[in-house]
Structure formats: structure tokens, C-alpha cells
């Protein structure tokens, strides 16, 4: 089923974001399936807006490499 979702998104030009990724194994499996973007506790805990702004200013490379 995930392969069908990825194929459908590709066919209509959408980027998929896997949500709720909590472990390295989940992230690895999603990457194997073809997901290019993910979010969840595995990558970072929720942050207040000011902390996100600081992260973007102080560590732009982290965000550039945050995909799977």
C-alpha cells in the first residue's frame, strides 16, 4: 500500500511527508519505500516558534540535511 501512495503522489507531482516517525528503523524503512521527507520525535521534539527561528538562523545546515 505505501508504494501505491508514493506512486500516486509522484504521478500528480506532490511531495509526501511521513509524519509521526519515532525511531531510526521507521525512518530507514520509509526511505527504502521512497519517502523523501519525514517529521516526528526521531528528528526533533516540538519547539516554540522562537526556538525554530533560532534554529534556522544559528544552524541552517541542520535544516538542509534534515530529510531522510
The pLDDT value recorded for residue 1 is: 65
User: E strands within the chain?
Assistant: 17-18, 37-38
Catalytic center residues: 19
pLDDT at residue 47 in the model: 87
pLDDT the model gives residue 63: 61
Sequence ranges of the domains in the chain: 2-64
Instruction: Give the pLDDT confidence of 32-68 residue by residue, as tens digits.
Output: 988 888 999 998 888 898 888 888 888 777 666 554 4
pLDDT one-digit tens code per residue, 5-38: 888 998 999 988 999 999 999 999 999 988 888 9
- Asked if residues 63 and 33 have their Cβ atoms less than 8 Å apart, the reply is no
pTM (two decimals) = 0.66
Amino acid at each position: 500500500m505505501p508504494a501505491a501512495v508514493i506512486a500516486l503522489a509522484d504521478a500528480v507531482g506532490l511531495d509526501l511527508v511521513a509524519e509521526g516517525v519515532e525511531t531510526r528503523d521507521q525512518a530507514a524503512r520509509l526511505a527504502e519505500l521512497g519517502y523523501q521527507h519525514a517529521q516526528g520525535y526521531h528528528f526533533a521534539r516540538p519547539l516554540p516558534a522562537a526556538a525554530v527561528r533560532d534554529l534556522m538562523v544559528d544552524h541552517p545546515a541542520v535544516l538542509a540535511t534534515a530529510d531522510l
